[in-house]
Amino acid sequence: MSSHKMEDKKTWSPESSSNPSAYEGDMGNVRRPFTRRLTESFRRDPHASVTRSASFSAADGKGYDAEAAAQATAMSPLLRRLKGRHLQMIAIGGSIGTGLFVGSGKALAYGGPASLLLSFALTGCMLYCTVQALGELAVLFPVAGSFASYSTRFLDPAWGFAMGWNYALNWLTVLPLEIVSASITVDYWVQNISLNAAWVTMFLVLIVLINFFGVKGYGEAEFVFAIVKVTAVIGYILLGVLINVMGGVDSHGNPDASYMGFRLWHHPGAFHNGFKGLCSTFVTAAFAFAGTELVGLAAAETENPRKALPTAIKQVFWRITLFYVVSLLLVGTLVPYTDPRLLNGRNSADAKASPFVISIQNAGIEVLPSVMNVVIMISVLSVGNSSIYGSSRTLAALAEQCQAPAFLAYIDRKGRPLYAIIVASVLGLLAYLAATQKQQDAFNWMLALSGLSSIFTWSSICLAHIRFRHAWTLQGHSLDELAFRSPVGIIGSWVGLVFNMLVLIAQFWTGFAPVGWQQMSVSDRVVNFFQAYLAAPVVVLMYIGYKLYMKTEILRARDMDLFTGKREFNVRVLVQEERADRKRWPRWKKLYKFLC
Q: For the segment 144-183, what is each residue's pLDDT rounded down to a tens digit?
A: 666 788 898 899 999 999 999 999 988 888 888 888 777 7
φ/ψ of residue 439, rounded to 5: -55, -50
pLDDT in tens, 19-63: 455 445 555 555 667 676 666 666 676 655 444 443 444 444 445
- Note down pLDDT in tens along the chain; length 596 residues: 444 443 444 444 433 444 455 445 555 555 667 676 666 666 676 655 444 443 444 444 445 566 666 666 666 666 666 776 777 777 676 667 777 888 888 889 989 999 999 999 998 889 889 988 988 898 888 776 667 888 988 999 999 999 999 999 888 888 888 887 777 778 778 777 677 788 888 888 999 999 888 888 888 888 888 888 888 888 999 999 998 888 655 545 555 667 778 888 988 888 988 888 888 888 788 878 887 888 777 766 777 777 777 777 777 777 777 788 899 999 999 999 998 888 875 555 566 778 988 888 888 887 888 888 888 888 888 888 888 888 888 898 888 888 889 888 888 878 888 899 999 999 888 888 766 666 667 667 777 777 688 899 999 999 999 999 999 999 998 888 888 888 899 999 999 999 999 988 988 888 888 877 777 887 878 887 887 788 888 899 999 999 999 888 888 998 888 887 776 655 566 666 666 776 777 777 666 665 55
pLDDT value of position 569: 57
Query: Rg of the chain over CA atoms, in angstroms?
Result: 24
Separation between Cα atoms, residue 257 and residue 245, nearest integer Å: 9
pLDDT in tens, 31-42: 667 676 666 666
Total length of the chain: 596
Element (H, E) at 142: none
State the DSSP string of 566-577.
Answer: PBP--HHHHHHH
Q: Strand 248-249 and strand 255-256: pairing? A: antiparallel
Question: Do residues 484 and 115 make contact, with C-beta atoms less than 8 angstroms apart?
Answer: no
Separation between Cα atoms, residue 322 and residue 232, nearest integer Å: 12
Q: What are the domain boundaries of the chain?
A: 52-556, 566-595
Residue type, 40: E
Q: At what angle are helices 368-400 and 146-154 packed, to 10 degrees?
A: 40
Q: Does domain 52-556 have CATH number 1.20.1740.10?
A: yes
